[in-house]
Amino acid sequence: MWKFLHRLSSLKYFYEWSGKWVPWLLGLTAVLMLVGLYWGLLVAPADYQQGESYRIIYVHVPSAWMSMFVYVVMAGAGFVAIVWRTKLSEIVVSECAIIGATFTALALVTGMLWGKPTWGTYWQWDARMTSELILLFLYFGIIAVHSVIEEPRTAARVASILAIIGVINIPIIHYSVTWWSSLHQPNMQLISKTPSVHPSMLYPLLVMATAFQFYFVSLLLIRMRNAILYRERITNWVKNSLARD
């Protein structure tokens, strides 16, 4: 296992290894996304309180979950980058920031669209929405670090420190509806004898969540491969690889 991880930290090996997985991951993402959207938008029943408007859940909830999940991945890569200073983990930090910011923005926008018919307003400065907005600003800050600092390894170190510090916001987002009074609905109880979501609505939601996970991995690998080519553009193996392509 450790031998494989050591080999995987090599940019050349990772580039070649990831290229074999990207087509399969994209195909699986497309299948799961189509199944999830069809199931959630056309097959699942309407909610007895919110009617058809609740169906935005099949985009909003997975994007909100991914906004936090991607940040944890980024912070973990930042820790590895600081301790072991591997180039691959530095690339993960920079590429996760852009992807995570997109998921977070999508969660905020869909949440606003859902909030208007549910609460009568697009925005409230409650704990969940505010902490999610702070998460978006954290992503923007890490993106800005890479834009302002030209030396890649210095930028990666600063961004990694910021990512690790900002991870404290993740439990705040998750538990905000428990700790403070909020318009936002409570966290879903999915792993229990009595889930808070009916199975007819829960199963397509889990399919969409899985599709978003595979989409994240696919997009991360693609962006990392491009970043590797740019970083290593003067090396012989990149020149040979591009010549073969």
Q: What is the DSSP letter of 143?
A: H
Structure tokens, 48: 């007895």
As a whole number of angstroms, the distance between CA 220 and CA 146 comes to 17
| pLDDT above 70 coverage of the chain, percent | 94
Tens of pLDDT, residue by residue over 154-200, are 999 999 999 999 999 999 999 998 888 777 777 776 655 566 788 89
The dihedral built from the CA positions of residue 227, 59, 27 and 214, taken in this order, carries a sign that is positive
As a whole number of angstroms, the distance between CA 220 and CA 139 comes to 15
Tens of pLDDT, residue by residue over 112-134, are 999 988 888 999 898 999 999 99
